């Protein structure tokens, strides 16, 4: 059965209307069929490689080397010797972090990976084979975790709910079958944006946006699991006031295929990535409510500079500096991408990456 056929069957079984978060979950993660379950190459710098998008570790190894300095500090402060990465992708970041943590003599004992994609796990195993048995894979979070946790572009790939405002009421947007294709359809719902300064928060008719219960539930679950250590998440997104600004009428839902972006998740289903920006205020509150403290929140550029990427640039080639510049430039990844850090409420510390330019007050 193809993925499209499988989703049509799911819509029929649900009475003809499927919530968008369920559609997104199937499009990305349906076992053996979804985008992240297939064999297509996803990560790379050029469409000629057959890839769909590039992430920071593929762009420059200096990303992982700078990030390793933050992990090393967290390991020293907390006494944790394990690192757990969620959604390790191609394994590029893991390789960079392991090499740099060893160079820093940080005392890394185990590098553990949690990834839903069996296909990506195999690629990670190939890439990290030289690391031996220090690297292993977890099928789920353990009941208790003493580790430094890292997630790069993980939260944006978690299924979101869509809601639409018609000028009078908010409705939940789902997916229906139309012939052999898919279409959006709205139905009555109690779902609302989390930030409403007035009855409808100044939103104009036709506004569509996202809410993130699955991503926030993930952070809350991690909070209850993380007994000792710290967690750092890097992703594109905004604080709540910016995310739900009335001028952001179309939301942030976006698809990527062949290094081109489009906003239609209902076509080429299973052949392209589907993402939504992160509401970092909701992420922070989910962690705090479950027992974590926010160590800091800042732009990727500030974070990497605090972690010493400028020093790492010394002695690199012009081409290497150009690629690293994309990690820092405001019009590239430097400003759109943010970093948020957490630690158990009982053991906060002054994290290196948030030394200057912390924006926690904007959450």
Q: Domain map of the chain by residue range? A: 3-362
Is a pLDDT exceeding 60 seen at residue 363? yes
Computed over every residue of the chain, the mean pLDDT equals 93
Residue 16: pLDDT over 70: yes
pLDDT score for 1:
86
Q: Over 60: is that where the pLDDT of 218 sits?
A: yes
Chain-centre distance of CA 249, in angstroms? 22
Q: Are 278 and 237 in contact (CB under 8 A)?
A: yes
**Residue 160 has what pLDDT?**
98
Which helix (H) or strand (E) is 12 found in, with range?
Answer: helix 3-13
- Per-residue pLDDT, 142: 87
Taking 3-state DSSP, the helix, strand and coil percentages for the chain, each rounded to the nearest 5, stand at: 35, 25, 35
Would the pTM of this model clear 0.85, i.e. be above it? yes
Structural fold of domain 3-362: Rossmann fold (3.40.50)
The dihedral built from the CA positions of residue 298, 300, 304 and 309, taken in this order, carries a sign that is: negative
What's the pLDDT at 202? 82
Give pLDDT, residue 50: 57
Give the mean model confidence (pLDDT) for residues 296-319.
95
Long-range contacts of 263-269 (CB under 8 A, 24+ apart): 265/23, 265/24, 265/27, 266/175, 266/181, 266/182, 266/183, 266/184, 267/181, 269/3, 269/4, 269/7, 269/27, 269/182
pLDDT of res. 141? 85
Q: What pLDDT score does 200 carry?
A: 58
For the segment 260-268, the average pLDDT, to the nearest whole number, is: 94
pLDDT at 42: 63
pLDDT surpasses 80 at 199: no
Chain mean position to CA 49: 23
pLDDT in tens, 140-180: 888 899 999 999 999 999 999 999 999 999 999 999 999 99
pLDDT band at 112 (very low <50, low <70, confident <90, very high): very high
Question: Has residue 304 got a pLDDT over 70?
Answer: yes
Residue 9 confidence class, pLDDT cut points 50, 70, 90: very high
Handedness of CA 102, 63, 113, 53 (dihedral sign): negative
Helix (H) or strand (E) holding 56: helix 56-59
Residue at token pair 């509401």? 279
Among 288, 213, 256, 268, residue whose Cα is nearest residue 19: 213
Residue 45: band (very low, low, confident or very high) from pLDDT cuts 50, 70, 90: low
Does pLDDT of 52 surpass 80? no
């Amino acid at each position: 059965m193809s993925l499209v056929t499988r989703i049509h069957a799911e819509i029929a079984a649900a009475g003809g209307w499927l919530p968008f978060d369920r559609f997104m979950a199937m499009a990305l993660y349906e076992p053996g069929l979804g985008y992240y379950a297939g064999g297509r190459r996803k990560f790379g710098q050029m469409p000629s490689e057959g890839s769909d998008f590039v992430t920071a570790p593929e762009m420059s190894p200096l990303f992982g080397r700078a990030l390793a300095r933050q992990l090393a500090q967290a390991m020293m402060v907390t006494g944790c010797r394990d690192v757990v990465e969620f959604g390790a992708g191609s394994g590029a970041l893991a390789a960079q972090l392991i090499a740099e943590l060893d160079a820093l003599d940080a005392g890394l004992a185990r590098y553990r990976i949690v990834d839903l994609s069996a296909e990506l796990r195999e690629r990670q195993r190939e890439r990290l084979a030289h690391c031996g048995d220090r690297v292993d894979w977890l099928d789920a979070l353990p009941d208790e975790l003493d580790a430094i946790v890292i997630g790069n572009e993980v939260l944006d790939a978690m299924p979101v709910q869509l809601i639409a405002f018609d000028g009078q009421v908010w409705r939940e947007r789902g997916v229906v079958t139309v012939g052999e294709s898919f279409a959006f359809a709205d139905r009555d719902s109690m779902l609302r944006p989390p930030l409403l300064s007035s009855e409808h928060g100044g939103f104009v008719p036709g506004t569509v946006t996202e809410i993130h219960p699955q991503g926030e539930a993930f952070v809350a679950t991690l909070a209850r699991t993380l007994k000792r250590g710290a967690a750092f998440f890097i992703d594109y997104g905004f604080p709540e006031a910016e995310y739900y600004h009335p001028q952001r009428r179309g939301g942030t839902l976006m698809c990527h295929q062949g290094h081109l972006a489009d906003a239609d998740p209902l076509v080429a289903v299973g052949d392209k990535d589907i993402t939504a920006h992160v509401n970092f205020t909701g992420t922070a509150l989910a962690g705090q409510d479950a027992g974590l403290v926010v160590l800091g929140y800042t732009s990727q550029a500030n974070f990497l500079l605090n972690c010493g990427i400028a020093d790492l640039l010394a002695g690199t080639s012009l081409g290497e500096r150009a690629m690293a510049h994309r990690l820092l430039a405001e019009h590239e990844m430097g400003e759109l991408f943010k970093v948020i850090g957490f630690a158990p409420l009982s053991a906060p510390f002054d994290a290196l990456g948030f030394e200057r330019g912390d924006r926690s007050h904007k959450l």
